[in-house]
Amino acid sequence: MKSFRFAAAALAASALGAFAAAPAGDAARGRALYMKNMCYTCHGTVGQGGERGSGPRITPHPFPWEAFVQAVRRPREAMPRYAPEFVSDQELADIHAYLESIKPGRKASEIPLLND
């Protein structure tokens, strides 16, 4: 029980560490890292969601930093876990900046071809 409490405390502390502050991210570097780390294979190259439900849509309006870190470091179900040894917090911040740089497409009502 004691060791369980210790593990829980350590986990909480490491989670808090990750939540402390979002490092400033670089969207161009983030795009390269998003490709290199294979995020695109499940979420699509612009985060639009993957084929046949391989991964949910994660843009536009990606999760805020804390929830994003949580989703990548401790995925809920089928997504592989990306530990800090493989994708650092700085790299995650770059990926987050890339996802934030992706703006929503135009509304159907603003596309002339769809309104003929």
Residue numbers at the binding site for ligand HEC (CB under 6 A): 37-39, 41-43, 54-56, 58, 63, 68, 71-72, 75-80, 82, 87, 95
Query: In the bound complex, what is the minimum distance in angstroms from residue 101's beta carbon to ligand HEC?
Result: 14
The string of DSSP codes covering 51-63 is: GGGSS----SSPP
Query: In the bound complex, what is the minimum distance in angstroms from residue 45's beta carbon to ligand HEC?
Result: 12
Question: Smaller CB distance to ligand HEC: residue 42 or 108?
Answer: 42
Q: Where are the beta strands (DSSP E) in the chain?
A: none
Query: In the bound complex, what is the minimum distance in angstroms from residue 3's beta carbon to ligand HEC?
Result: 27
Find out whether 47 and 31 touch, Cβ atoms under 8 Å.
Answer: no
108/20 Cα distance (integer angstroms):
40
**Residue 78 falls in which region: left (phi positive, over 0), alpha (psi -120 to 50) or beta:** alpha
Question: Smaller CB distance to ligand HEC: residue 8 or 35?
Answer: 35
96/35 Cα distance (integer angstroms):
13
Query: In the bound complex, what is the minimum distance in angstroms from residue 6's beta carbon to ligand HEC?
Result: 27
Question: Smaller CB distance to ligand HEC: residue 77 or 110?
Answer: 77
